[in-house]
Amino acid sequence: VAFTTEEIRKFPFGPNEKAPANITDRLVPWRFMIGFAALLTAGMIGVRVYQQIFAWSAGLDYFEPEFQTYWMTFLYSEWVMEVILATAVWGYIWVTRDRHLDQLQPAEELRRYFRLVALIFAYVFV
């Protein structure tokens, strides 16, 4: 179902009421989405540059001792960073969650959905 800007402006209000003009401009978190995509892109470029620099000097053959030294250490450190980051993010989400969802305003709920979709788009883009 597609909605026009005018219909979205009326959403959390009655049929004859209008939301402030800037409410729909704040629904899509463009800076957040672009910033998150840029952060992911920078991280992946850093990993790719590291792989390119050490590919021939450290070797890509699993049976070589250099592979264990560089690539497996890199993989293990990546796993540790992912566990730490996931624990921090989910801990933050759990501690700062809204405890009164029954009092959540429709405009705030819609803003949260837009932020979730922005995160998904940024992650899929990278």
Q: Which domain holds residue 41?
A: 5-125
Share of the chain above pLDDT 90, in %: 10
Task: Tell me what pLDDT residue 99 has.
Answer: 87
Task: Tell me what pLDDT residue 88 has.
Answer: 92
Task: Tell me what pLDDT residue 87 has.
Answer: 92
pTM for the full model? 0.56
Locate all alpha helices (DSSP H) within 1-126, ordered by sequence. Answer: 5-10, 30-58, 65-67, 73-95, 106-125
Average pLDDT over residues 33-59: 85
Q: Which tokens belong to 93?
A: 């989400």
Per-residue pLDDT of 5-20, as tens digits, reads 666 666 555 555 555 5
Q: What is the mean pLDDT of the chain?
A: 79
* CA–CA distances in Å: residue 121 to residues 62, 109, 117, 126: 35, 18, 6, 9
State the total domains in the chain. 1
Read off the CATH number of the domain in which 95 is found: 1.20.1050.50
Per-residue pLDDT of 66-108, as tens digits, reads 888 888 888 899 899 989 988 998 898 899 888 888 888 888 8
Share of the chain above pLDDT 70, in %: 77
Q: Pick left, alpha or beta for residue 13 (phi over 0 → left; psi -120 to 50 → alpha; otherwise beta).
A: beta
Confidence at 52, pLDDT banded by 50, 70, 90: confident
